[in-house]
Amino acid sequence: MTNSKVCKSCNKNIGKKLKLNCGRCRNFFHLECGKISEVDARLMQQEKTSWNCEECTSDISSRRSTIFNLPNSESQGISEIKTMIRELQGELREFRNAMEFLNEKFEEERKRSQILSDMVTEVTKDNALLKERVGKLETALNMQQNENIKNNIVIGGLIRGDGNNAKKQFAVLMQHLEVPITTSDVSDFRVFETKSGPKATVTLQNSELKNRILKARSQKGKITIRKLGLGEEDSPIFVSEELTKECYALFQSAKALKEKNYRYVWHRGGKVFARKQEGEKVIWIKHENILNELLA
């Protein structure tokens, strides 16, 4: 239906546009002259549905109406009835074919939709299992790393100087905390620079000593350079346990739980915990997935 034809209705050239072809008179028509939308025309073309122009349709209707006003010639009336029956049977076949075609398409789309739905379900399950495995691996790795630094504390806010100066500040800090400590209690002492100033990582001989220092630190309240007698500045001195990079990042992210009515968020022994109110259940935030569930 792409060759150039003349419209039977308006006598104008149709060109290469989509056109209608009457199934009875075989004449061509513009879509607008045949009062058919382009969507309906393409659907009829796809389903190979026959179309009749208004003149032929009126002729069929007129012939059908003569059934009840048959002429005197009985043979002519019977012939008219048989013709109309054949036409009706043809239209019925076309309608049935169109319905079968639509049913087949519907069934194909239904099967395709079901396959896609099953694939989405399978991928969702696989993704959940993968997230669970990754979470367990992250927890195991973090615990292993924590084991390596379980006796470490970090001291921040130190006055700049050489390593010996940092060790002297550490000794003064221990005196202030009233925790007796000797050189044999420290197996490693490392100083590193940060944007906020030098920090020291102290590796103690055992975790019991580390816990004593942290407990004394919490009881003393705010500690400053002035309180330690190391200068006139009121800049604070920080004492905390050392965390792995992953645990530190998790702890920083977990602080957002305070916007979800979690009053307490803390870390201890390389683990991050949260609790809404005093006396309520303590939640161990093992990995990012658990945190995301709490924040959701």
Q: Is 105 helix (H, G, I), strand (E, B) or coil?
A: helix
Q: How confident is the model at residue 71 (pLDDT cuts 50, 70, 90)?
A: low
In this structure, are residues 266 and 279 in contact, taking their beta carbons and an 8 Å threshold? no
pLDDT at residue 2 in the model: 43
pLDDT in tens, 195-209: 878 899 999 999 899
Q: Is residue 16 predicted with pLDDT exceeding 90?
A: no
Residue of 250, 242, 243 lying closest to 292 (CA atoms): 250
- In CATH, the number for domain 150-241 is 3.30.70.330
First-to-last C-alpha distance (Å) of the chain: 59
Please write the tens of the pLDDT for every residue from 119-130.
Answer: 888 889 989 888
Q: What is the pLDDT of residue 95?
A: 82
Residue 72: the pLDDT is 53
Sequence ranges of the domains in the chain = 20-69, 150-241, 245-295
Rounded to 10 deg, the angle between the 38-47 and 74-148 helix axes is 100
Q: Is pLDDT at 171 greater than 60 in this prediction?
A: yes
In this chain, the answer to whether the domains covering 20-69 and 150-241 adopt an identical fold is no
Q: How far apart are CA 88 and CA 263, in angstroms?
A: 80
Which of 75-84, 180-189, 265-274 has the lowest average pLDDT? 75-84
- Tell me what pLDDT residue 52 has: 92
Rounded CA-CA distance 39/57 in Å is 21
CA distance 92 to 88: 6
3-state secondary structure of 43: helix
Please give the structure tokens belonging to residue 176: 């202030």
Judged against a pLDDT cut of 80, whether residue 267 lies above it is answered with: yes
- Phi, psi torsion values for 130, nearest 5 degrees: -65, -45
Q: What is the mean pLDDT of residues 75-104?
A: 80
Residues 156 and 238: beta-carbon distance below 8 Å: yes
Q: Is the pLDDT of residue 113 over 50?
A: yes
Does residue 189 have a pLDDT over 50?
Answer: yes
Is pLDDT larger for residue 58 or for residue 222?
Answer: 222
229-260 pLDDT tens trace: 988 888 999 999 999 888 889 999 999 999 99
Helix (H) / strand (E) containing 21: strand 20-21
CATH code of the domain made up of 20-69: 3.30.40.10
pLDDT exceeds 60 at position 65:
no
